[in-house]
Chains A and B, each alone.
Chain A
C-alpha cells in the first residue's frame, strides 16, 4: 500500500473531480430515495454526501436480486441455449464505506476464489473503489469489531478534514486518478485525518463493546455454542422472513429457476436471491434438513462467523449492522455475539 501518497482535494473541487470520472467510468455513488443506496450517476450533482453507510450495500451491483443465466429456445431437433453473460462496463464506485469494501472482499472469496461465478466475475472485474470515512456511526454500526473503518484494499480513500478531503492512495489505479486539482497533504492534514478516524471509531467501540479481531479464537468460541439455549430463544422471536439475508452485503445464496412462455417453446434460466432462514431452503425430495427454525437461526450465524473462517479464513460479517436495522423482530446480531464470546 502506498501510504506515502497522501493528497488533499479542496471540497469545492469534488464535483469537477467526479464529473471527470463519469467521463471515463460507469460511476456508482450514494443516492438517497426511499432508502439510500448506490446508483449509477451521470452527473456529480446527483451524489448525496451521506454521513455514514447507505441503507443498501453494493451487493446488487455485482450480484443482482435476479439474473438471467441463459435463454433457451425449442427447435425442431432439440434446444438452442444462448448464454446471457454480457460484457460489463468499467465501473467506479464512489463513497463506499469500509464495511462495504470488506464485504466485497468477502464476496470475492465466495464468487471468484476456490469456485468461480462467471456472471459475478464479469461485473466485478476492473472495478475502481473510492472509499470514504464515516462522519459518525449509525446506532447499529460495529465495524470496529472487525478492525475499524479503513479496509485493507481500496484505490482511493477520502476523509473529510474540514475544507478539504484528505485522499489516501491505495493502488496504482488510484494513483492514476490523482490530477492537478489534488495538493500534497501536510503533516497537519494527516494528523487531522487520524484524529477524525479515532474519534468516530471510539464512538463505534462505545456502542459495540465487542471485539472479534482474534478471528480464530472467536470463531472457535462460537463453534462450541451449537447447543446453546439462545438458539431456541431466538427462534421464538425470529420471523424467519429472510430480510437479514437479503440486506446482508455478503449473503449470496441463490435459487435456480426456469421461466417459459405460454406454449413452452422458449424461456430462460434465472437465479434469484434465496435465504437460509426460509423453511424450504434445505429441503430435498426426501427430507427437510433444517426444518426447525432454531437450526436455521443458528445456521445463519455460523455461516457468518464459523464456516467462512474454516473455509476462507475470514468472517462473512463486516459489522455494517444492516441486519440489525432491518430485523422486524428487533434481533441485534451484536447481542448474539456478546452472548457467545462472553
Chain B
C-alpha cells in the first residue's frame, strides 16, 4: 500500500454552515477515531489536511472553511463531484478517558469541527459520562457551526455559547470563551478536550490551570500544515514531535515540555 496515493471518493451532500464554511459529506467506508484528520485531494489543486467532523461508516463529513487553494476549489464543487482521500491520520481524542468522569469540551470557531464526533458520541452514549459541558465560542453568531444540532445537544449536556460580536437576534452570552469558564460546574475528575485558535487555547489553558484543572487531563489539538500525513515531509514538526503522527492531540503537560514550545501554549505556566 502506497501511503501517498489517495482513494477517489464522491461528494454526496453539501451543507452551508457559515458564509465561508461548508460541510461536505463524502462517500467512503473509512473508519476513524474522533479527532483524526484526512488529506483531502482536489485533483489539479493539491492536498489539504482536514479534520473529520462526522461519519457513519458509509461516509465521512468534512467541515471546510474556504481559505486556500484546495479549500476554495472544493467550495465550488457540487454533489456528485469526485475528490481524493488519504487517511485517516493522527491519534484522535482520548475521550474514553472521560468515561465515568466529567467531560469538558472547549471549542473556538472552526475548532468545533474535530470535536463534533466526540459530541455526537456523547449524544449516543450519554450514560458513559458524568457531567458533560460544551463551551463554544465564535466571532459572530452567524459564524457558528452545526447550529442545527444545538437544540439536540442542549438536551444532553450543558451547552454554553458565546460570541465576540453579537448580531441582531442574539440573546446569549457575549465575550471570549474564557468568560464562560466560571460557569463550569466541576473541576475535579474532569477530562478537558479543546480545539480552537492558538490564542484561545493559550488563554483557556491558563484559566483552567488557575481554576485547578491538572494539565495532564487537558488535551489540545494542534493545527499544523501536514503535507504527507506520515511523519516524513517535516512541515508539521514542532519541538521534536510530528503533529501528524504523534498528534494532533496532545495532553497539555506534554505540549508544555516540547523543546520548542508550541504557540498554543506559549506563556502557559511560565
Contacts and interface: CB of A to CB of B under 8 A. Distances in A.
Interface of A: 69-70, 72, 74, 77-79, 81, 83, 85, 110-111, 114-119, 223, 226, 252-258, 260, 264, 267, 269, 271, 274, 276, 281-287, 289, 295, 298-299, 302-303, 306-307, 310-311
A298 to B, nearest CB: 8
B221 to A, nearest CB: 13
Nearest to B66: A285
B223 A282 contact: no
A253 B235 contact: yes
A283 B240 contact: no
Nearest to B225: A284
Given A81-B5, A115-B245, A285-B71, A72 B43 contact: yes
Among A287, A298, A302, which residue has the most Cβ atoms of chain B within 10 A? A287
Contacts of B3: 116, 118
A83 to B, nearest CB: 6
B43 A255 contact: no
A285 B67 contact: yes
A289 B258 CA distance: 14
Contacts of A276: 234
A277 to B, nearest CB: 12
Contact of B44 (A85, A267, A284, A307): A267
Given A306-B240, A311-B240, A256 B233 contact: yes
Contact of B259 (A116, A254, A302): A302
Say whether chain A's binding surface is mostly helix, strand, loop, or mixed: mixed
A269 B84 CA distance: 12
B84 A79 contact: yes
Given A282-B224, A284-B225, A83 B5 contact: yes
What 8 A-B pairs come out closest when comparing CB atoms? Answer: A253-B234, A260-B44, A78-B82, A307-B240, A115-B231, A285-B67, A69-B4, A258-B46
B10 interface: yes
B260 A226 contact: yes
Interface string B232-244: 1111011110000
B139 interface: no
A81 B8 contact: yes
A264 B42 CA distance: 11
A44 B234 CA distance: 39
A79 B82 contact: yes
B238 A289 contact: yes
B150 interface: no
A124 to B, nearest CB: 14
B233 A302 contact: no
Given A253-B233, A258-B45, A281-B235, A307 B198 contact: no
B5 to A, nearest CB: 6
B61 interface: no
B197 to A, nearest CB: 6
Contacts of B232: 110-111, 115, 117, 252, 254
Nearest to B224: A284
A208 B233 CA distance: 31
B2 A83 contact: yes
Given A78-B82, A83-B2, A114 B231 contact: yes
